Structure 1
Amino acid sequence: MSTSTAAHAPGGKLLSNRFFQTVLLSNILLQIGIWVRNFAVLLYVTDKTGDDPIAVSLISVAEFAPIFIFSFIGGTFADRWRPKRTMIWCDFMSAASVFIVLLTIMFETWEAVYFATFVSAIMSQFSQPSVMKLFKQHIHPQQLQNAMAIFQTLIAIFMIIGPTLGVIVYQNFDINISIGVMGVAFVLSALVLFRLPADIKSKSETAGTGKVMHEMAEGFRYVWRSPVLRTLCAVFALAGLSIGVAQTLGLFVVTERLGQPKEFLQFILMVNGCAMLVGGASVVWIAKRVSPQKLLALGMIVGALCTAAIGLSTNVTLTLVLQFVNGLFFPIIQVAISTMMLQWSAESHVGRVNGVLSPMFVGMMVIMMASAGPIKTVLPLVSIYAGAGVVMFIGVLVLIPIFKHKAPEHASNQQAAPEMGLH
């Protein structure tokens, strides 16, 4: 039995699937490279600039800007190109950019570290939709939610150990070794991906380049015609607005509401990361019993209540408990959204659907991250967190009409027409 056939057998064990093993190992290597990059570059820039806030903020710009610029473009081309080949080339190109940066740093051009982050973020906009496309090909629909849960658990693990790993590499060696680790991790990831099954040549791959704009427009129409995907767009935007507040104002919760020094924030982040690890593992069990729509609603209800309560709390223990509960349910939100996106998208449109939805979440989150500071100058912290909780709860109300929808079986069929099975 082939890998693909075995993967589509409902009773097959997910972790024994060669495709899933390969993608997991590749993702582990990428996570190592990404977290070493994140913290080595952060510490290096602060050392070079004397904690200049503008220089530090440019790191986030280099990381998030490609999501706005290249997400939908990357998704469109991911639908046209062969996914295995796309992923391998993206990892090799990320590695090449890292080694170019290493050479420039040796000649004292330290600003080049922004380039490594920027190029790596661009490549991920082409690579990630290709991964999702392969999931449609090689993972049975009944196993998609469990597969997403395992990936979320892996990400949670690196949220706990990643910062420490990055700090250790940078502090014990230097930026040159740190960048070398990044490059090696990307190269190894590319080599691991050669284990993937051969690509299936699609019709869109042979289409002329003149059809690219038409395919982009078709991607937007495809999402708009589906009530479920259209609803996910709204939910993504609302969740991004709410989560952006917590991302930005968590430090003020520590100092103003809890009366603790700013260093205490690391304990809140640690509690949140541990909870995400537990939640990622637990969602594998929960996902078998609850539809992704209801799973998403459950996660957002808990997120809304915890967000509002964190803003109200002045007790350290209570805040830590709320942070743990919030982190526990955050993977549920991520897994449910990823599962719904895959289940309601035809294989030929997965990249473009991902390209439409992802910027909605990140865009709204960044807008709120930029707005939270000015808003805080006119509103108390309690009101801001209460408002963020209300926004998240509105997302739950938006979800209610699609509770009755069931994923179309033919969404896994590459030749499925966009109009079919959307209503």
Structure 2
Amino acid sequence: MLRNRYVRVVMLSRILQQLGIWIRNFAILLYVTDLTHNDSRYVSLISVVEYAPILVFSFIGGTFADRWRPKLTMVWCDLLSAISVGLVLAALSQSSWYVLLAGTFVSACISQFSQPSAMKLYKNHVPGEMLQSVMALSQSLVAVFMVLGPMAGAFIFQQYGIVTSLVITGILFGGSSLVLILLPKDLEQSSSGTVSNFKEEMKAGLRYMWSNRSLRVLSWTFAVVGLAAGLTQPLALFVVTEKLGLHKEFLQWPLMANGAAMLVGGGVVMTLTNKVRPQTLLAAGLVISALTTALIGASTIIAFSMMLMVINGLFYPCIQIGIQTLIIKNTEAAYIGRVGGAITPVFSGMMVMGMFVSGYFKETTSLLTVYMTSGILLLLGTIILIPLWHNRPEVSLEAGVR
């Protein structure tokens, strides 16, 4: 898999990106909490700034990714992210800390153009039988930085401060842009039969997605999974304090255990890439996550709860890798950006909706009820997936591979 030049270069770029993002995000989080004396309103504003671009720009970025050359798009996106960090640094000494949020927002918007381009490169240049392994490797990178990212970000900020953290972030984004230059030159895109009007291309993408049964099923599955995740994500702290009777500082340990388990799970999936279909991976991940989620909401035993969080982390990559592999295998190369840009906000939007109502839901019912509801939603996602069990990919696995 790593013999493929596209996989090797994009993964190295992603390592630099992820490290830069975690250092920036944690530095901003700690800096803002210091300035605002742990005001939860401003902390939540940071999350809004990070998630809003996904909802607003994901489909637009995906449409442009289908029009533009992927290598050039990715190089410029990372370069612009580095420049935005430099502008934030220049303005920080003269302006309010709100400029940090503006810089984060701009960088998050830019990433909505870069990510679909990477998917397009995989579709065009990675053989179909390798796609699941590539998705597993991508998920493993995310898991690695879920464990190491907070540690690196907190250490650099606490030792050197916000300015050094942002300088390092800018260097990492710039380094990612330079790494991407190593990709082969973009293929010339045929203009025959393409729609030149941006609005029409967006409509064509939505029509394509709606006409593709597999993508419709995956969209509904993604929506249900997003809502389930959103319901429980803000309440992990209350599992620690209310169910386990521990101090809030203990939360870091189950989170790190969960992240480490995700890393192991992603590695296991890579070894199973030619033995297990993505539908099976996704269904297994949903069923196990449903059971562990419900049990986490009920458990009052520390060791049992930790074990459940580890199991949950082990199978979570099955969900992400299964969905991403199915999207690529069931989408033509010309529509990869738009399909990814349409499905991603479905997950993010439903997750934000779940996060918005989870606190009220808990206060009016109970923590157990919220976690049980999340588990039921995940089982519902498995049921929605049934039409895909006997489906073959709706496009050739080798379509577009160069």
TM tier, smaller:
over 0.9
1:52 aligns to what? 39
1:397 aligns to what? 383
Aligned runs of 1:205-354 on 2, under 5 Å?
A: 211-354=197-340
The Cα shift of 1:203 comes to: 3.3
Question: Is 1:103 aligned with 2:96?
Answer: no
1:4 aligns to what? none
Counterparts of 2:400 and 2:198, CA distance in 1: 18
Which residue of 53, 57, 82 corresponds with 2:69? 82
Q: Deviations over 1:321-366 (max 9, x none)?
A: 0000000000111111110010001000000000110001111001
The Cα shift of 1:221 comes to: 1.0
Q: Deviations over 1:202-258 (max 9, x none)?
A: 23599675x111110111111111111000000000000111122111111111111
1:6 aligns to what? none
Aligned runs of 1:364-403 on 2, under 5 Å?
A: 364-403=350-389
Amino acid at match of 2:7: F
Q: Is the 8 A contact 1:343 1:412 kept in 2?
A: no
Go from structure 1 to structure 2 and tell me whether the alpha carbon gap of 1:354 and 1:395 turns closer, same or farther (over 3 Å shift): same
Q: Deviations over 1:256-280 (max 9, x none)?
A: 1111111111111011011001101
Counterparts of 2:396 and 2:248, CA distance in 1: 52
Structure 2 unaligned spans of 5+: none
Task: Give TM-score, length-normalised by structure 2.
Answer: 0.97
Structure 1 unaligned spans of 5+: 1-13, 416-423
Count matched residues.
401
Q: Is the 8 A contact 1:240 1:365 kept in 2?
A: yes
The Cα shift of 1:110 comes to: 1.8
Which residue of 146, 151, 155 corresponds with 2:133? 146
Q: Is the 8 A contact 1:79 1:204 kept in 2?
A: no
Amino acid at match of 1:90: C
Q: Is the 8 A contact 2:331 2:395 kept in 1?
A: no
2:161 aligns to what? 174
Q: Deviations over 1:134-174 (max 9, x none)?
A: 00111100000001111111111111000000001100101
2:54 aligns to what? 67
Amino acid at match of 2:364: V
Amino acid at match of 1:74: G
Go from structure 1 to structure 2 and tell me whether the alpha carbon gap of 1:280 and 1:376 turns closer, same or farther (over 3 Å shift): same
Q: Is the 8 A contact 2:288 2:312 kept in 1?
A: yes
SS in 2 for 1:377: helix
Go from structure 1 to structure 2 and tell me whether the alpha carbon gap of 1:403 and 1:188 turns closer, same or farther (over 3 Å shift): same
| Percent pairwise identity | 47
The Cα shift of 1:108 comes to: 4.4
Q: Is the 8 A contact 2:232 2:358 kept in 1?
A: no
Counterparts of 2:27 and 2:191, CA distance in 1: 40
2:142 aligns to what? 155
Counterparts of 2:313 and 2:214, CA distance in 1: 26
Q: Is the 8 A contact 1:345 1:411 kept in 2?
A: no
The Cα shift of 1:318 comes to: 0.5
Q: Is the 8 A contact 1:346 1:411 kept in 2?
A: no
Task: Give TM-score, length-normalised by structure 1.
Answer: 0.92
The Cα shift of 1:411 comes to: 5.8
Counterparts of 1:130 and 1:281, CA distance in 2: 24
Q: Deviations over 1:371-414 (max 9, x none)?
A: 10111111111111111100100000011111001114536535
Q: Is the 8 A contact 1:347 1:412 kept in 2?
A: no
Go from structure 1 to structure 2 and tell me whether the alpha carbon gap of 1:160 and 1:148 turns closer, same or farther (over 3 Å shift): same
RMSD between superposed Cα atoms in Å:
1.5
Counterparts of 1:38 and 1:268, CA distance in 2: 21
